[in-house]
Amino acid sequence: MKFCFNLFLCALLLITACLPKTAKYYAKSGTNKSERNDYEGAIAEYTKALEKKPDNPDLYKLRGIAKYELKDFVGATADLNQSLVLKDGDPEVYKYRGDVKTQQKDFKGAIIDYNKALNINTEYASAYNNRGYSRAKLKDLTGAITDYNKALMLKPDYAVAYQNRANAYFRTKSYQEALTDYNKAIEYNPDLAEAYYNRGIIHRTLKENEEACLDWNIARDKGISSAENFIKKYCK
pTM: 0.89
What pLDDT digit, counting tens, does each position of 35-86 carry? 999 999 999 999 999 999 999 999 999 999 999 999 999 999 999 999 999 9
What pLDDT digit, counting tens, does each position of 104-159 carry? 999 999 999 999 999 999 999 999 999 999 999 999 999 999 999 999 999 999 99
Average confidence score pLDDT of the chain: 93
What pLDDT digit, counting tens, does each position of 192-236 carry? 999 999 999 999 999 999 999 999 999 999 999 999 999 999 997
3-class DSSP assignment, residue 157: coil
Domains contained in the chain, CATH given: 159-236 (1.25.40.10)
120 CB burial (10 A radius; 0-12, 13-18, 19+) = middle
In degrees, rounded to 5, the angle at the alpha carbon of residue 130 between the alpha carbons of residues 215 and 168 is 45
